[in-house]
Amino acid sequence: MTDKNAFSPSVVEAIAGFTAGVISTLCFHPLDLIKTRLQVDRQSSSRIGNSLRVISWIYQNEGGVSAFYRGLSPNLIGNSTSWAFYFLSYGEVKQIMRGLRDNEQDTLGYSDYFIASGTAGILTAIITNPIWVIKTRMLSTGSHIPGAYKSFTAGAREILRSEGIPGFYRGLLPALFGVSHGALQFMAYEKLKLYRLGTISRSSMATTAESGSMAQGLSNTDLLLISSLSKIFAGSVTYPYQVLRARLQTYDASLVYRGVVDATVQIWRREGIKGYYKGLGPNLLRVLPSTWMTFLVYENTKAYLTNYRE
């Protein structure tokens, strides 16, 4: 492979992230829809069985199986572009940090990974928030509800007409707080990867590479475990922000809540601590397989493109 046909590291990161976002969204969109319905529910208390109630309602009243794929377009656009831009920005910031140390070796510490992933998360959240507003509104209601957006473009036009540019940035503040989730996750993910690599002998690394299971000496099984632990760690700390963001992005949010603080207070008064964890069950069911899929596709796509460059 000649240099002129080689992919740059930035392109590799973007393509790998984009591919991971597309595949994980196609596989797990229905669970995302169920999670969103539970997050925006202000009426019922949080209890076991709510997910089954939501599934039954959607199937019986909103069009059967196809109803579970409402809002797929904005979710697909949002996840693919988010992961592409996130991994691109994350890789660039890490390279800048290594350059500041005048060392190309991976000698970054916990705080470095946290800052790199946090910076990438902030940039990604600001750029993609308009997509998530449309996605949340489409997932939170069936298509038959009066005023419900019929499509991604119809939603964008309606928000611009009725709310202006600020409407696209509803829920941005809790989304920015949610950047801490990604920062914690990637900090743990990178350090767990390094720890696992440190436990693998030189001979076992060569065997793994020869089998083609994963670049850098890590098997797909290793990646499944590492991504699971990092996701559970980050998710257990930061889940409430997702509920706040979803509440603030619904159709009538401006009529119900005056802002993040008001939403936080209302949830606490009416629903208690459990209100901040609505949808956690389906979120865990969705997020772990989705995390596995995302990181397996990302790492393997990245390894393939890197080898292709060489």
> What's the rounded Cα separation, in Å, for the pair 29 and 228?
19
Q: What pLDDT is recorded for position 45?
A: 63
pLDDT in tens, the chain (310 residues): 445 556 678 788 889 999 999 998 998 899 888 888 887 777 666 665 677 888 888 888 888 888 898 889 888 998 999 999 999 999 899 888 888 776 555 578 888 899 999 999 999 999 999 999 998 888 888 878 888 888 889 999 999 999 999 999 988 988 887 788 889 999 999 989 888 888 875 545 444 444 434 445 788 999 999 999 999 888 877 888 888 888 888 878 888 888 889 999 999 998 888 888 887 777 777 788 889 988 999 999 988 887 765 5
> What's the rounded Cα separation, in Å, for the pair 114 and 182?
9
What residues does each domain of the chain span? 3-309
pLDDT tens digits along 63-76: 888 889 888 988 89
Longest CA pairwise span in the chain (Å): 64
- The conformational region for residue 278 under phi > 0 = left, psi -120 to 50 = alpha, else beta, is beta
Domain 3-309 maps to which CATH number in 3.40.50.150, 1.50.40.10, 1.10.10.10, 3.80.30.20? 1.50.40.10
Residue 175, Cα to own-chain centre: how many angstroms?
A: 11
Q: What pLDDT is recorded for position 48?
A: 58
What's the token pair of residue 91?
A: 């890789």
- Is pTM beyond 0.75? Reply is no
pLDDT tens digits along 1-35: 445 556 678 788 889 999 999 998 998 899 888 88
Q: What pLDDT is recorded for position 126?
A: 93
- The closest alpha carbon to 57, from 145, 181, 117, 122, belongs to 145
Let me know: does 97 contact 26? Beta carbons within 8 Å: no
Residue 152, Cα to own-chain centre: how many angstroms?
A: 19
Give helix 280-309 / helix 72-100 axis angle, nearest 10°.
Answer: 60
